[in-house]
Amino acid sequence: MHGEYAFSQRRACEVMAVAVSSYRYQTRRTDEPLRTKLVELAREKPRFGYRRLHVLLRRWGETVNHKRVQRVYREAGLSLRRKKRKHCVRVGQPLRVWTAANQEWALDFVHDAVESGRAIRVLSVVDAYTRECLALEVDTSFASRRVTRVLETILAERGVPQVIRCDNGPELTSRHFLAWCIERKIELVHIQPGRPMQNGQVESFHGKLRDECLRVSWFRNLFEARRKIAAWRSEYNQERPHSSLGYRTPEEFARENGSAEGCGKDAAWKSQRSDFPTALGNPAEGAGIPLSHSHGGDVLSTNNAVSNPDVVV
């Protein structure tokens, strides 16, 4: 206003209702001593933020407000650069309605501890249709190769599933695990981070496992944990009535629905196909089932993926 209308400073301050003394005030305070001390401390402790540097200044006898320290800290360009964590982006896929065994397996881990306080992990593999517990592997840690060894054991008994649904743990997103699924033509469905109920089948199973086994058992060591959890798995598959299966056991339900014809050592695909030299052969060879996160190429739906009548679904 002073420059546009050629007003004096006093007249412009009257129009704007600003005190002339406030307009003409020049601060006599300098932050240079504080800036110098902060720079010295930052050179000695390069990974300390302004809060820790403020504590060190107080130890030296400096009485200064932490907000002033933060302002001078930023003006001096001492702010730490933090790497932004890369979050995994997944597209949510709803739970599908299956009609036979071996169409989808659900994988996840549950945690507990033994008497000494050492943590243990339990790898659970559940058939989404028959609710059978295919594996309960107990150990202190699991690498991706250990997970695939467990799955190979199940594949030798039941054949290859169409889909594996799991979370985004490092064991289940490693290059080895992805390559293992691609080699066997298994569609891999990763749930969205923070959405465990997108893998609701195995989460429901873990609720039963905790209530009926983990919370009522005392494990003196890893070997006892393996023995008790294996005994509970046998009871779950062979004796425990399942409400969603009409109070039948998972094995009874599997037999009544004919799923035994498509899995096991005497499965039809193992005797009819002569191009599988071992029980670890891939019955879904040529099915073209893609990974859920693969990029490019033609993506086949689950309904159209299996065209070979010899493929077990």
Residues 302-312 have pLDDT tens digits of 344 434 444 44
Quick one: pLDDT at residue 62?
85
> Is the Cβ–Cβ distance between 36 and 30 less than 8 Å?
no
In the three-class reduction of DSSP (H, G, I as helix; E, B as strand; rest coil), residue 154 is classed as helix
Name every residue whose Cβ is closer than 8 Å to that of residue 208 and which is 6 or more positions away in sequence.
Answer: 236
Any idea where the domains of the chain sit in the sequence? 9-75, 104-305
Quick one: pLDDT at residue 92?
73
What tens digit of pLDDT does each residue of 194-224 get? 888 899 999 999 999 999 999 999 999 999 9
**pLDDT at residue 188 is higher than 90:** yes
Identity at 297, one-letter amino acid code: G
- What mean pLDDT is reported for the chain? 82
Range 249-272 average pLDDT: 63
What tens digit of pLDDT does each residue of 19-36 get? 988 888 887 788 898 999
pTM of the model: 0.60
Name every residue whose Cβ is closer than 8 Å to that of residue 166 and which is 6 or more positions away in sequence.
Answer: 106, 107, 108, 172, 188, 189, 190, 191, 199
Terminal Cα distance for the chain, rounded: 81
Residue with tokens 């001593």: 33
Fold for 104-305, please state it.
Answer: Nucleotidyltransferase; domain 5 (3.30.420)
